Structure 1
């Protein structure tokens, strides 16, 4: 029998039993679509989390911990392969106050090297990076932290005695770029500020942190300011100076994410304690790999359930065509040919079901990614949630291949036993059945 004749044989049976074959294809389609859509949720959430982490420069940042960190160690680290920049942050260990007119804040001065910061993209909401000693960048929450303390005290006094209501503290509302404020150090022990003051000019405002609950009210100054502040600290401090004014934290930045592990290993070999967000990323990847495997397994159960329908359909096909099989055997058809005919029919059901499932799955994925953010945003009362870059469903080609392979394999296996049964039909019994 030629291949064309084999196709005609299958087509004739399908035409005779359109409804039954349609329901079987529908079951196979639903099972495969369920697998793809279910697993796509795991891929979507994983993709969203990775995107949120990778869009931040922290993904290539390596925090270095050691009791002895200085400019010399930082220079040595710059020589490590694949190191893009080495940034040393130095925080002032003293009472601090920044004053802009009648507004004050107990700011936190952070000294850094802006040349190195520029290499790794110091994120600014507006303005530019400092180019001289007395130019600074302030955090996004700096203006909000500047308050009029005298006005706040008056508002508090005006409240009725015993009132639990908290007065609205007036904060600075004007522009920051170009403004000059006074920075003072002080003594934590006495709570007094030193007499010497430093005038600093704001030339930039840092971008808001990615985490909404973080408030950045820091003052970012250039390392050239350190000598002057240390001089003030030593001159104005009443008792003998024993502790340094600044404590250091070193950050090493790899050129690309793929090289973070090699840089981290090199730093560990040199005796440093290190931490990088890429280690968390690896843990997330492992977690989502297990999650996606579990979702694929659950989806496979749905396909296995649909295989019952394919098995029943093929069993009925063998029963209904017993006499045809007997005639084919009588005229010399080989058992392998008969078996192949029924396997081709079950495979056809699997192929059609898989193709339809893929089309439906992509449609469901597109609709869910558009509709779910709106529904979730409305449910939790966050109108801006729909504007966030949250992906609920992603269907990579690997998932399509896996689902197709499982679906086709299950379809062929489901038709295997009925096909084998067809090869064992006795010719004489088959011909007598219709006589």
Structure 2
């Protein structure tokens, strides 16, 4: 019997028992669709978390902290192969109040000292302008101008009890403008220093829509100018008490991060990298995916009971037909193959329908769930975020299809073996 004849044989018998085969295919479809949709939740959440982490920071950046024994040595770190820059950042103690004003508008920005040359080497991008070339030039955050309030703005914000959107802050760019930097300290906010600075660069816009960057980046040499003024007010003040430094090491590319990170740890330094966090997260999601696929497979196994019953009834109903086939010379292998092909046909059709349904459910979930949550919580921002609840990658379709079709074939194997053992004489005696 040729392969085409075998397919026709299977098709004819499926047509004879349409309702029974239909319900079996339906059970297979439900089991396989449940597996895919369940596992797609893990894939969707992983994609969302990965995207969040990837936009959070540079993939080539390694944050470095002093370990229990290791001390940060910038020159030694710079000497590591594949390191492009070592950026020192210093935060100013909260007891110092930094105020910035321009054109009768003022704000209190987050102030940080940074090594401009190293930051430029690290390719930390600006949205406008360039890096400073002297100590009287500064880089400001992308939103600093919009946080510069006049007295009228402050009054409008104070009186805004209904949280309405107000048209406050500066709309004009501060690039090229001169701003006053005022340093205050103590309970009475004594003026420590006033310095006129020129804005020559504006930082890149934060990748997350909800983030507001109203910072000011000053040269590390600013600390040398500020300390004498502070000591005049409080002679016992030490530089380490005013400026808290951290270091960022930049590798040449993503592939080099792991090797550089290993060498930094060998120096007994504590480190943090986005790639390391991604590896840990991927391991967690791998376990979650495996667990959800396992739960989904149970649903497929339950559906396989229907395939087993259908095929067992098919063997019983076709006992005489099997006897005739054996009498005219059909081999046991051929008979077994025909029944396995029939169970595979049920699995294949059920899986194909399940894949189509799964994609529809996945798209519907991503579209409707944000709307439902927005309606339930009355929060408008949820509908506009980037959370993906369900993603069906190609590998998930392959895994689910292999499980579903494989289980269907195994379910038909036992009845197929039973068919090969049918006695020809007894089969032909049946009416």
Same fold (TM over 0.5): yes
Of 151, 158, 181 in structure 2, the residue corresponding to residue 183 of structure 1 is 181
2:53 aligned partner? 53
Please identify, of 85-94 and 406-415, the stretch whose mean Cα deviation from structure 2 is larger.
85-94
2:136 aligned partner? 134
1:243 aligned partner? 239
Cα distance in 2 for partners of 1:283, 1:112 equals 31
Q: 1:59·1:277 contact (CA, 8 Å) conserved in 2?
A: yes
Q: 1:140·1:206 contact (CA, 8 Å) conserved in 2?
A: yes
Cα distance in 2 for partners of 1:377, 1:127 equals 40
| Distance of aligned partners of 1:226 and 1:344 in 2 relative to their CA distance in 1, 3 Å threshold | same
Displacement after TM superposition at 1:392 (Å): 2.2
Matched, 1:112 2:114: yes
Displacement after TM superposition at 1:350 (Å): 1.3
Matched, 1:35 2:40: no
Q: 1:148·1:169 contact (CA, 8 Å) conserved in 2?
A: no
Matched, 1:389 2:386: yes
Gaps of 5+ in 1: none
Q: 1:354·1:408 contact (CA, 8 Å) conserved in 2?
A: yes
Matched, 1:407 2:404: yes
Please identify, of 115-124 and 4-13, the stretch whose mean Cα deviation from structure 2 is larger.
115-124
What TM-score does the superposition give when structure 2 sets the normalisation length? 0.85
Matched, 1:288 2:285: yes
Cα distance in 2 for partners of 1:238, 1:376 equals 55
Q: 2:67·2:269 contact (CA, 8 Å) conserved in 1?
A: no
Cα distance in 1 for partners of 2:9, 2:153 equals 92
Displacement after TM superposition at 1:44 (Å): 1.0
Cα distance in 2 for partners of 1:386, 1:119 equals 39
Displacement after TM superposition at 1:148 (Å): 5.8
How many corresponding residue pairs?
A: 423
Cα distance in 1 for partners of 2:35, 2:226 equals 64
Of 184, 187, 197 in structure 1, the residue corresponding to residue 194 of structure 2 is 197
Gaps of 5+ in 2: none
Match of 1:62, SS state, is strand
2:395 aligned partner? 398
Displacement after TM superposition at 1:432 (Å): 1.4
Q: 1:95·1:193 contact (CA, 8 Å) conserved in 2?
A: no
| Distance of aligned partners of 1:325 and 1:223 in 2 relative to their CA distance in 1, 3 Å threshold | same
Q: Deviations for 1:301-337, whole angstroms, at most 9, x for unmatched residues?
A: 1211211111111111111111011112223322222
Residue correspondence of structure 1 range 332-343 to structure 2 within 5 A: 332-343=329-340
| Distance of aligned partners of 1:200 and 1:36 in 2 relative to their CA distance in 1, 3 Å threshold | same
1:298 aligned partner? 295
Q: Deviations for 1:244-292, whole angstroms, at most 9, x for unmatched residues?
A: 4533211112334443332221111112222233333222212211111
